[in-house]
Every structure is written in C-alpha cells, then in structure tokens.
Amino acid sequence: MRVTAAMPRITENEFGSVCEVQVFNIVDAEFIAPGIKRFVIEAPRIARKQRPGQFVILRLCEHGERVPVTIERSDRQRGTINIVVQSIGKTTHVLNSLVTGDSILDVVGPLGKPSEIEKFGTVVVMGGGVGTAMAYPTAAALKRAGNRVISIVGARNKELVILEREMREASDTLMITTDDGSYADKGFVTDKLRELMESGTRIDLVLAVGPIPMMRAVADTTRKEGIRTLVSLNPIMIDGTGMCGGCRVLVDGKSQFACVDGPEFDAHLVNFDVLVQRNSMYREAEQKSMAEFRRDAESQVEACRAGMGKP
C-alpha cells in the first residue's frame, strides 16, 4: 500500500517517547456550493503522481471511517492537491467542518487507474452534481490531447452547479442543465446527450461521472447506438488496494474492484442493480451514525481535531 504524507510533526508523550505524526495540512478550504467544499491539501508526493481519473482515501481520526474522495486537480510545484467533498454522511460532515489550518490524519493515494487519455475524436464528458469535480481533470486532459470536448454539467439547481468556469475552459462546448430550470436549460444531462445524438453529431466516446441513476441513464441512452461509454464508479471503499473486497462491482458478469480495476468501467457492461444494492448495504448504520452526529456535532468535530494532533 502506498501511503504518502506531508509535514511530519514530532510529538512527545508523558514518558518522553517521541513519535513522528504525519499529517496533511489544509492550506485552503472554501464552500463552492451549499454542502460542497473544496480543500487544498499539502500532499507533495500525491501531487507529483496524480493523473486524471484518480482519487484518494482519507481518514480523519485514528478509528475513523475511510472515505474515497475526488481529486479535482493537483499542483506539482506547490505540492498540493485539491479535493471536493459533499456533506453526505457523518465523516463528510466532519470533514466539511474543517477549515484552513486544520489537518487530515491520513491521505492515501493517488488510487485507481488513471483515465485513458488519447485522441478519440469527439468526446462527451458528463458531470452530474459533485461528480463534475472528478470529470473536470479528465475533460481538461482530453482537450489537451486534441479531442473535441463537449461537456454536459447537471445539477439540481443553480446553486449546486460547480466548476462552471473550469469546465468551460476544459471544453470546446459546455452545456448546463438544472433539474428545476433555475439556471441554463431545464432537465437532466441525458436530455442534452439525447439532443446531441439526434442532431447527428458524431460522438466517439462518452464519459459520465455522477450519481448512479445518472450513469445508468447515460448507459441506457448510448447503448442502442453502440457509442463507447465509460462511467466512473464510486462504491463503498475501505483499503483502496484490492485487499478488502469492499468496492466489488460486477462488470460483464465478473467481479472487479473499483479501487484497482477502475474506477472507470465500460458503462454497457456494469451491473447497476448490484451497485445500488451494495451501496445501500450500510444505509441503516450510516443513518444511525448521522443521527448521533447531529445530536452532538460540535464536540465530535472537536474530538476529531484533537485526534489530528490539534490542541
């Protein structure tokens, strides 16, 4: 397992033993939409190696849950990575309570196979909600590789549209949809994809990143035309190294591990029913943990800070 860390800090316990604690400092943190926060984290070794399509797994405190998180970009010179986190469960709520100057106990990565970047022709890159953060670096790399990139970004409403400027720069054409019509065109991302297909636009590849119903709908839309389509899967993950089996997905009838065999897979071969079923396995436990967290959010965030070596 490749564990990389930044800024080792030395602590001394009551018996005078010295322990090297490695932490990842948050050098910037800002909400980019309600419940969605972008962090800039010092992680020079990850920044050096990160390629589009890869992710990291974070752990906030010693006995904390491990969560896979999207890398939006990295800056090799500064030695930082940007991650984008949506508050969904307890751990992501705690994470999004952290601010500049806080730190994260450990960050493992970069994980997963990088996106395949070559000249395909015309590529449609689709980002659903916070999945846009994962789609962005791949869109940018595909454009640099000489593809015509048509991006479609969808969100529930205007406030939840993220990375519009970045996606515009990474695309030849950017289309935006909101479910409620509060910004740009009303509808789902798949409505725009269908329009493109009906207009006779030649599409050589589609990449979709977002919630499972969206990725399934994209797969259904392109299947009949036989357009090569990739989806980036985001199942529950634990170790991120192919050892625990937590992220098992069924692709073409075979078990695959999203953390090492993916996260991108041929959308037409993914068994979405199994994905939905496995992702809902821990729903009850997650809801219980979230309810406990809500009762005492402040002290849990403080406990987590203390666990990171904060006073």
Among residues 150 and 189, whose Cβ is nearest to ligand NAD? Answer: 189
Which entry of ligand FES, ligand NAD, none binds 50, CB below 5 to 8 A by partner kind? Answer: none
When asked if residue 82 is in the footprint of ligand NAD (CB under 6 A), the reply is no
Q: What is the 3-state secondary structure (H, E, C) of the chain?
A: CCEECCCEEEEECCCCCEEEEECEEEEEEEEEECCEEEEEEECHHHHHHCCCCCEEEEECCCCCCEEEEEEEEEECCCCEEEEEEECCCHHHHHHCCCCCCCEECEEEEEECCCCCCCCCCEEEEEEEHHHHHHHHHHHHHHHHCCCEEEEEEEECCHHHCCCHHHHHHCCCEEEEEECCCCCCEECCHHHHHHHHHHCCCCCCEEEEECCHHHHHHHHHHHHCCCCCEEEECCCCCCCCCCCCCCCEEEECCEEEEHHHHCCEEEHHHECHHHHHHHHCCCHHHHHHHHHHHHHCHHHHHHHHHHHCCCC
Q: Which of 82, 103, 177, 229 binds ligand NAD (CB under 6 A)?
A: 177
When asked if residue 245 is in the footprint of ligand FES (CB under 6 A), the reply is yes
Q: Which of 247, 251, 270, 301 binds ligand FES (CB under 6 A)?
A: 247
Q: Is the CB of residue 284 less than 8 Å from the CB of residue 290?
A: no
Which entry of ligand NAD, ligand FES, none binds 257, CB below 5 to 8 A by partner kind? Answer: ligand FES
User: Of the ranges 18-26, 204-212, 231-239, 289-297, which one interacts with ligand FES (CB under 6 A)?
Assistant: 231-239
When asked if residue 213 is in the footprint of ligand NAD (CB under 6 A), the reply is yes
Q: Which of 52, 79, 154, 235 binds ligand NAD (CB under 6 A)?
A: 154
When asked if residue 239 is in the footprint of ligand FES (CB under 6 A), the reply is yes
Among residues 23 and 231, whose Cβ is nearest to ligand NAD? Answer: 231
When asked if residue 64 is in the footprint of ligand NAD (CB under 6 A), the reply is no
Among residues 231 and 301, whose Cβ is nearest to ligand FES? Answer: 231
When asked if residue 257 is in the footprint of ligand NAD (CB under 6 A), the reply is no
When asked if residue 94 is in the footprint of ligand FES (CB under 6 A), the reply is no
Least CB distance from residue 57 to ligand FES, whole Å? 8
Among residues 213 and 245, whose Cβ is nearest to ligand NAD? Answer: 213
Interface with ligand FES (CB under 6 A): 237-240, 242-247, 257, 259
